[in-house]
Amino acid sequence: MQHVISVLVENRSGVLSHIAGLFSSRGFNIDSLAVGETQDPTISRMTIIVTGDDKIIEQVNKQLNKLIDVIKVQDITEDEYLDRELVLVKINCTSQTRGEIVQIIEIFKAKIIDVNQKTLTAEIAGPQDKIGAFLDLVKPFGIKELVRTGRIAITRG
């Protein structure tokens, strides 16, 4: 099962390295990792998506809490939360297919951020299922390049 772990850390160099090292040294795989400064510039929030059973997640939480630069660890998987991901996708297009691709982009409320003779680049943000549905529809045109930020999440209320 995928778990969404929110970690508040001191905003210092080397913290990301320590946390990534903790996961790799124990053989845990990180499915997604996003890090950014919070409203307090001395604190960053990490959103870590990790797959594992309850025993693995409990171990991850215990190990994270042992690190000096970690302020708070919260598995928000069972809470009500909002999550988003940002994707930039460069799609192969011709003058014949451009209109159809633009329609798909509009339906998903994505944005066209670059166009040339052979490609169209779109930006889409949203929950994982929306991103997946969008990518499934544009895949037949040919995806030339794809960049994903990783998921970020915040609890509701």
Q: What is the pLDDT of residues 60-78, one digit of tens each?
A: 899 999 999 999 999 999 9
- Give the pLDDT score at 23: 86
Q: What's this model's pTM, rounded to 2 decimal places? A: 0.85
What span, in angstroms and rounded, lies between the C-alpha atoms of 146 and 67?
34
- Give the pLDDT score at 28: 84
Q: Which stretches in the chain have pLDDT values below 70?
A: none
Enumerate domains of the chain plus CATH numbers.
2-75 (3.30.70.260), 82-155 (3.30.70.1150)
- Give the pLDDT score at 150: 92
**Residue 76 CB contacts under 8 Å (≥ 6 apart), including other chains:** 4, 5, 6, 153, 155
